[in-house]
Structure 1
């Protein structure tokens, strides 16, 4: 009789044991989450220390002095802490850490959903901010090498020039067309606005000189005449499915992580209830 009773108790304990698959899958999930957090945190701390492109963005955004570098530090720090809590919680089967992980991951998911809705509602304001950002970057083009590289990369990647067109470069003291501008770059544009010639092996950094003295049709032979704001909108529309897929994928991963954590909490509670 005792043998039968012992066997039943063993089977009952075995039936409610913690799933190793869930436990180590959650651990692996959090390792990736933790490493991404460490990467964001590292980038943020590096930018804050070096006062490079990310730090200098504060001077050319209309966000009340908010420094975008802190966004990297905060996001990286939160991801680092959550990933660490999830890893330790999964390995140690600590329900408090697992609950902390799932609650805060759920909060992040809610904030992302809210941000997505606000982005759609205030899309005109975001467009104005992008326009403001590019025009202020145009003004400061020669003042900071990091910002200069940023605007050059943007114009080359999206095959654009200025926020709305090449004439936006009148905002820059070196490129404006005023009569008293002594700069050799007067009435020109940066080389990143130029239409690239595949036959050229060496980059011609003077290809934009005097180009805005010509008519618009003639300008199109040498430079991109579309603005970066419009090109960005067009890129977003052309890649809408990919962009939406990335955001949906991130959301599903977060929901998956919450489900794994809650499943593991239930398993741990069930095992403790049978002790």
Structure 2
């Protein structure tokens, strides 16, 4: 009877904190499971799961990796937070808060380093985009990602259309038998509002023309410069998103630590 008396009259676990943390993490967990399922399904569709050695054959960035890594991290964290809160398991709650704190620290470090080493980051971005230009036809997900980026930012290549010389299908060498020789992908083309159907051949032979003539048909600015301009124009929104994510992480850590303290206080009274 004394144990019961201490549990209710002394320290007790806050139901609000417990079930709020549980609800928050179950949404997080389900979202992570969805991301992971999409990533694994995309891999299965491409036959990667039946031939794991093909992972190393990808020349460029595979967007499916993003879904698998982000989904896996969210799934593990959400699971630990859900079960930890529901079962009042201090080990899982500590794992959740430490792991979330580590992610927050890595994000903060990456942000500081990105600001300090802006020129190095820019060089790496150039290298990353050029590598993916080379692998444009190697992976349909990568191709869709590049097309989306070029259409969204109204750009072509890392620095300009001539970056597509790096791709074996678009380069201007005499030995290139491709019909796309000296061209660019359709996503580089300036859209005609009157056209309802996308003309996928609009970039054929366009780089055989002079600089001024090209501007009538394709975007001539590079994606690196356009991305930097987009960041500057949307700095408040981008900063707000990052601050919002950081506050959610801090809030989750505080809730988990609060629940751990409550559980320890209850156990101390037993």
TM-score range relative to shorter protein: 0.7 to 0.9
**Equivalent pair of 1:18/1:264 in contact (CA under 8 Å):** yes
CA 1:216–1:126 in 2, change beyond 3 Å: closer, same or farther? same
Residues 206-249 of structure 1 show CA distances to partners (whole Å, capped at 9, x for unaligned) of 22223223322222111111011111111112122212111111
Query: Computing the radius of gyration over CA atoms, which structure comes out larger, 1 or 2?
Result: 1
CA 1:80–1:244 in 2, change beyond 3 Å: closer, same or farther? same
Moved over 4 A (4+): 6-11, 50-72, 179-182
Question: Matches of 1:160 and 1:38 in 2, distance apart?
Answer: 34
SS of the equivalent of 2:51 reads helix
Moved more, 172-181 or 156-165: 172-181
User: What displacement does 1:126 show?
Assistant: 2.7
2:135 equivalent to 1:140? yes
CA 1:93–1:18 in 2, change beyond 3 Å: closer, same or farther? same
CA 1:84–1:173 in 2, change beyond 3 Å: closer, same or farther? closer
User: What displacement does 1:15 show?
Assistant: 5.6
User: What displacement does 1:105 show?
Assistant: 1.8
CA 1:97–1:183 in 2, change beyond 3 Å: closer, same or farther? closer
CA 1:24–1:209 in 2, change beyond 3 Å: closer, same or farther? same
SS of the equivalent of 2:158 reads coil
2:246 equivalent to 1:255? no
CA 1:105–1:139 in 2, change beyond 3 Å: closer, same or farther? closer
What TM-score, normalized by structure 2, do the two folds share?
Answer: 0.82
Moved more, 197-206 or 63-72: 63-72
Q: Tell me which of the two structures has the higher relative contact order, counting C-alpha pairs closer than 8 angstroms and 6 or more residues apart.
A: 2
**Equivalent pair of 1:62/1:132 in contact (CA under 8 Å):** no
CA 1:147–1:260 in 2, change beyond 3 Å: closer, same or farther? closer
**Equivalent pair of 1:187/1:210 in contact (CA under 8 Å):** yes
Residues 101-137 of structure 1 show CA distances to partners (whole Å, capped at 9, x for unaligned) of 2222222222221222222233333322322232233
CA 1:143–1:27 in 2, change beyond 3 Å: closer, same or farther? closer
Unaligned runs of 5+ in 2: none
Moved more, 63-72 or 149-158: 63-72
Residues 59-113 of structure 1 show CA distances to partners (whole Å, capped at 9, x for unaligned) of 9999999987666545433332222222122122222322222222222222221
CA 1:220–1:18 in 2, change beyond 3 Å: closer, same or farther? same
Moved more, 171-180 or 76-85: 171-180
CA 1:201–1:242 in 2, change beyond 3 Å: closer, same or farther? same
User: What displacement does 1:38 show?
Assistant: 1.8
Residues 182-221 of structure 1 show CA distances to partners (whole Å, capped at 9, x for unaligned) of 4443332222111101111222222222322332222211
The correspondence of residues 1-275 of structure 1 with structure 2, limited to 5 A, is 13-14=8-9, 16-51=11-46, 72-275=67-270
**Equivalent pair of 2:62/2:142 in contact (CA under 8 Å):** no
Give the aligned length.
269
**Equivalent pair of 1:62/1:129 in contact (CA under 8 Å):** no
Q: Considering only aligned residues, what root-mean-square deviation do their CA atoms show, in Å?
A: 3.9
Question: Matches of 2:162 and 2:61 in 1, distance apart?
Answer: 29
Moved more, 259-268 or 174-183: 174-183
Moved more, 35-44 or 109-118: 35-44
**Equivalent pair of 1:61/1:129 in contact (CA under 8 Å):** no
